[in-house]
Structure formats: structure tokens, C-alpha cells
Chains A and B, each alone.
Chain A
């Protein structure tokens, strides 16, 4: 019976967890399981996901050049982009007008998206960002398609990049501000 001590320790572990959950403040205080439990009672209190959590994708559409890289790399083909060319005023006086891609449509179908993050990684112009926001369920599946405006609205929920560890290369990325 060499297993016996280990089995008793196991009983101790569950018993200890039980008392830690029911009496988080020690056995003399009244039981408070909602404080002792590690879980969050979700609809009543909102969980705070870590800043880098993958909740929803935000679009900073001033940065987007409609280059279609994200749409092409998306494994689910759930990004829909349409755009047209526009003439922009020349940089210097007397110069030729520049050509610019104007974004007409940028939709992500979150009913199809598998939150792989490839689109965010692949965007060369810092136009897509992860936001930890997760409350965007809908009654109708068609409403899971977020258009340009809705994706842009998520921008304000995107947290600032956390500082690098001490001694790391100092090249802190800055989020584009909505005005830039």
C-alpha cells in the first residue's frame, strides 16, 4: 500500500480548497464563498481580461490602405474589403496630385472569424488591433458582421501597449490616436 499516504494527501488538498473557498478570511469569520472562489459570477460582475486578450478586432481605418493583405491571409476568408482610387492633393505646391486608396467597405464577419490574429499580425500599416472587449454577442448571426464604423468604434477599447521589460530594446510602439 505505498499509495496510501498520497491518497490521504489528496483528500487533504480537496478539503483545504473547500475551506479556502468557504472561509476566505479564516474560520472565525462568516463564510463568504463568493469571495473565496476563483471564478467570476459573469453577468453580475464583469471579468477583467488581460490587456493582450483576444476579444475583438479594432480597425484604425486612417491607416488602412486597402492593400488586402489581411483579407488574403485570413484562413476563414471572413474579411471583406472594397476600395477605390482617389486623387489626393500634392505633397508640395506645384507637384502632381497623389493617388490614394480610399476604403469603401471593411467588414469582418465575427461569426466566421476564429480569432487567430493573422490579420493583425500581417497588416503592414498598423491598422488592425486586438481589443480585450468580449461582449458583442448578437441575437441574429448576421449581426456578427461588423462594418467599418463598428470596427472603428472598438479602437477606444484597445489598451496601450504595455512597457517592455527592463533592458529590452527601447522601441515602444504607440497606438495611433484617432485624430492622426
Chain B
């Protein structure tokens, strides 16, 4: 999204970069806060027949600010044997991976940060950087719980990266492009959103991002009954908060990616996808679709108990990966035949 596009001036490079950073921060933090409040605070409470936060602001809407203030005040504790640099840097690695994901998300015909020809490929590649951050956290903490949690997370994320990528391949075959905007345009041309022809792929994608986000029922890396909180055990204060933001921001971004791939991104049926107005309502439409997918993620999170480690690996390698390969083959055959 260029500033010139909105202001009809051509700002210097640094102004444009700063503006982009600011918009990027808002674009990540606002949906994240919305998801945490809507789903983690409120929907989860209602599904457990309680009210959730009610005191801070009307219906607890300011609770997030209160939590933020609380984490800021806390001491930033380093374990005495920790590898200090690795320990300190880990949350930022996770966060950077999230912020880089947003870069390729289009929210309108001209509303985007960068228009990469290999957008979805870039997103899948960048999303796996977070594994490194989690491994760094597990290793740097010098604690057996953290190490076990980090290794579990690495095993899980690698196992579920495959079905995730393979389920995306189905969409890519149908769209004939790796460009995120191209995929959105292909859905507009195709007539229906890819969730209909790629329903199997959508299901695999949902399960895989659930595991990628280490949300229950796939939260073995932080299994509190076995590992305290896994790789987060030794973190406190602001660094814990960064991990927390990273977790839910990634949930928001992955939901948005899912909305782009399967629910037609910023487009609305029967409205010209390239109309000028879509630059302004496109982000809202995308946010609405993102909340729809996030709703599914959090609904599963709230409903299901945790898998066992071996069940999780079996599900990925023996079931999801063959299924997604089958999905690719069927999609390819249809693409060639019709």
C-alpha cells in the first residue's frame, strides 16, 4: 500500500517506510487484540458458562490494556545458567516471523505491503522461522522442561508444516499462481471461493494451522500438566508477553491467510473485485473472514482435550500427509481434464 495512493503526494522513502511499519504494527496488533478479547476472553468464558473479564471497562474491554500493563511491570528474569543472548533474542525471532507473514497479505486491489509473485511460498517459508525462535527459547532457558517443550514444538511444527504446505498446493494448482493477489483474483474468476472445490484441502489446512499455532488440542509443546509451560517456562514479564502476542498474532495472520486462500480474501461476491472502493472496505471484509476462520480455530481449541505426542505425530504423517497428497493428485487431474 503506497502512501501516495492515499495522500496523492510522493513522500520520501523513509517517511513511507515508517508509515508502513506503523500500519504493519496496527495491522498485526489490532486483529490480535480483537481475537484475544472476542474468543479467548469472551467466547471461551461463555462456552464454560461464565462471564470472563467484566471489571476493566464495559464488559472487560480494557482487560487487554490491564494485562499489558501488568506484564510491563514484571521483572524480566533470566535463569542463572541461561544462554543470555539466545534466551533474550528468542521472542523477537518468533515475532519477526509473524510480522513478515503480514507483508504478503493483500487486503485490496492496491492495499498491500509488497506484491510478491511468490507470495504464498514466501509466507510458508517465513512461518517456519518461528520454529527457530521456539528452539532458541527451549535451548537458551537451560531448563529441562523448556528443552523438552522446544524439541516437542520443533517436531510438531515440522510435522505439520508438510500438510499445511501440501494443502496450499491444491489451491495453488487451481489458481495457477503463487501470488496472493493472483489467488484472490482466480477465485473471483472461478465463480466460487476455493473452499467449495478445495473443501478437503480446507479441512487439512485447518488442522495443520491448529497444530502450527500450538493451540489445543495440539499444545503438547506447552502441555502444562507435563512440562509446566514448555519452552515458555522460564520467561517472565515483557518477553513472555512477546511470546503471547506472537502466538495470537500468528493465529490472526494464519486465519487471514486461510481467508485469502479459501474464502476469497478481500472480495465480496457480485462486487467488482478491482473497484476503487475495495481498497477501503477490503481490509474490513478480510478482517471479517479472518474472524470467521479464527472462530473455528478457537472453537476447536476450547472443545478438545490435548493429544498425546505419538497420536499427534501419527495423525500428521500417516493420515494428513497422504490425504493432502491425494488431494493434490485429484486437483491436478481435474485441472488437466477440465
- A residues near B (Cβ < 8 Å) are 7, 10-11, 13-15, 17-18, 20-22, 33-34, 36-39, 41
Q: Given A33-B51, A34-B51, A41-B54, verify A10-B304 contact (CB < 8 Å).
A: yes
**B47 in the interface (beta carbon within 8 A):** yes
Distance of A143 from chain B, by nearest CB (Å): 26
A123→B103 CA distance, assembly (Å): 73
User: Which residues of chain B are near A11, meaning CB under 8 Å?
Assistant: 299-300, 303
Tell me if A38 and B50 are in contact (CB < 8 A): yes
Tell me if B51 and A37 are in contact (CB < 8 A): yes
Tell me if A17 and B303 are in contact (CB < 8 A): no
Distance of B42 from chain A, by nearest CB (Å): 9
Tell me if A21 and B46 are in contact (CB < 8 A): yes
Tell me if A14 and B49 are in contact (CB < 8 A): no
**B48 in the interface (beta carbon within 8 A):** yes
27 A-B pairs (CB sep. < 8 Å): A10-B304, A11-B299, A11-B300, A11-B303, A14-B47, A14-B299, A14-B302, A15-B47, A15-B299, A17-B47, A18-B46, A20-B49, A21-B45, A21-B46, A21-B47, A21-B50, A22-B46, A33-B51, A36-B46, A36-B49, A37-B45, A37-B49, A37-B50, A38-B50, A39-B49, A39-B50, A39-B51
User: Who on chain B is nearest to A12 by CB?
Assistant: B303
User: Which residues of chain B are near A18, meaning CB under 8 Å?
Assistant: 43, 46-47
Tell me if B54 and A17 are in contact (CB < 8 A): no
A36→B47 CA distance, assembly (Å): 11
A22→B52 CA distance, assembly (Å): 12
User: Who on chain B is nearest to A11 by CB?
Assistant: B303
A95→B162 CA distance, assembly (Å): 98
User: Which residues of chain B are near A22, meaning CB under 8 Å?
Assistant: 46
Distance of B194 from chain A, by nearest CB (Å): 24
Nearest 6 Cβ contacts at the A-B interface? A39-B50, A21-B46, A14-B47, A38-B49, A14-B303, A18-B47
